[in-house]
Amino acid sequence: MRPRYHYAPASNWLSDPNGLVHHDGEWHLFYQYNPQGEDWGHMSWGHAVSRDLAHWEELPVALRDDARHMIFSGSAVIDVANTAGFGANAMVALYTGAMTGEPPRQVQCIAASTDAGRTFAAYPGNPVLDLGLADFRDPNVFWHDASQRWIMVVALSADNSALIYGSANLKDWDRLSAISGAGAPGEVWECPLLIELPVAGGGTRWLFKVDVLQGGPGSGAIYLTGSFDGESFQPDGEGWKVADWGADFYAAIAWHEPRDAQGRPLWIGWMGNHAYQGRLPAKGWRGAMSLPRRIGLRKTAAGHVLCQEVVAEAAADLPELREYSGAVPIASHARMEGEDWRIVLEDGNGRAIDLMRQGGVLRARRMDESNPFLDAIRDVPLASHAPVELWLDAGSIEVMADDGAVSLTLQHCFSGETIDCRVEV
């Protein structure tokens, strides 16, 4: 069953969001895509656009792999001032070329589009950045107004660190500094993001988010807050925190612009996990995006915490669950008030999600008799009495607590239009 209000391609494998950019009223969502099948491979950039963040139109593949290289993750910018020479307002994609020859090498490349992202021409001078390394990927680029240049953050995946580069023209890049993984949980850094976020109540801090492929807490998405002066990122010294406690929120990046009235940008993540995604049952397509979420920071006893809020437009027509017993629609939203409760969702075929709030802890348990590799249990301490919100869809559940400071995203394989629901208080 296809997701009702989450983006999934009509067919084939989808993973990381790439090239998030807003241009001429369109939200562009590029993503890691295999045009040839439901397994990871032939990585290319799939493409979808939306004008309202609720309905997505799938477009032809934007950047295709070839005999020399796959098109790994990256970002896109609108080059308003024509710094790169592809034309004013050209859309420039910055991606990792994963060279298929021996020895394997990952290099940064660019491609430009002057027809609103429908077609791209690779820059003949590619690669624009080559350190001769096998693990060097996922460039995320934004315009930094204060230093009047482009800034790129990119992962040295095998080294658990990231590099920051600066450029005047998207083609020539100078190394500025590094972000160290010292003290960070997990290993193999992927999909870094550096972005300035508003702090509720006033001011801003910078967020550095990275995903760890193995051994990370939660989904692997971890972050630091700090400052960025156009050269280097200085952490606040509050330690690493977890951006999502589920198993299935990975590789999130942001539309750096536009922002809402509070200065919050949007981000979106892949609801997947490399540890088992390829073993999920084949359905004709494999993989979906999370809902787009507003992101900002809040100062709490734990320091600056990332707060996520599902963007209202994305779930506008969704039925609200008020009766929690018997068959409820698989696509629905619920708001659980109170301190002690338990909600169990079951499909009668040995699959269940059991969410419990007790003693200030949110416990999430996923069970699946047909796919035991999906079994997972998570305990997340809650810091407030705020209600817990659930967004249920075919294929996934997103849970937000503590006014967005706790996020927990899980895939599921429930069958049927409805799901059996029971609440215990």
Binding site for ligand FRU (CB under 6 A): 15-16, 32, 43, 72-73, 96, 137-138, 190-191, 250-251
- DSSP letters along 372-409, please? GGG-EEEEEE--S-PPEEEEEETTEEEEEEGGGTEEEE
Nearest to 79 by CA among 48, 109, 46, 110: 110
| Closer CB to ligand FRU, 137 or 256, in the complex | 137
Query: Which residue shows structure tokens 């997947």?
Result: 272
Tell me the closest approach of the beta carbon of residue 28 to ligand FRU, in angstroms: 18
| Closer CB to ligand FRU, 220 or 404, in the complex | 220
Q: Is 156 helix (H, G, I), strand (E, B) or coil?
A: strand
| Closer CB to ligand FRU, 173 or 249, in the complex | 249
At a CB cut-off of 8 Å and minimum separation 6, what does 267 contact?
20, 193, 252, 253, 254, 255, 292, 293, 295, 308
CA 54-208-77 angle, 5° bins: 55
* 163, containing H or E segment: strand 161-167
Tell me the closest approach of the beta carbon of residue 150 to ligand FRU, in angstroms: 20
| Closer CB to ligand FRU, 157 or 332, in the complex | 157
DSSP count for the chain of H helices, then E strands: 0, 32
| CA 228 vs CA 21, 154, 173: distances in Å | 22, 15, 18
CA atoms within 13 A on the CB side of 252: 31
Nearest to 142 by CA among 126, 128, 130, 153: 153
d(CA 151, CA 195): 10
What is the dihedral sign for C-alpha 39, 392, 211, 17?
A: positive
| Closer CB to ligand FRU, 73 or 83, in the complex | 73
Identify the active-site residue in 16, 65, 347, 402: 16
| Closer CB to ligand FRU, 96 or 396, in the complex | 96
Nearest to 56 by CA among 248, 268, 258, 251: 268
Query: Which residue shows structure tokens 């807490």?
Result: 217
For the sheet containing 303-310, what is the strand order?
A: 250-255, 266-270, 293-300, 303-310
What is the dihedral sign for C-alpha 23, 257, 78, 29?
A: negative
What is the dihedral sign for C-alpha 45, 47, 53, 56?
A: negative
Tell me the closest approach of the beta carbon of residue 65 to ligand FRU, in angstroms: 10
| Closer CB to ligand FRU, 92 or 210, in the complex | 210
Q: Is 172 one of the annotated active-site residues of the chain?
A: no
| Closer CB to ligand FRU, 211 or 403, in the complex | 211
**Residue numbers annotated as active site:** 16
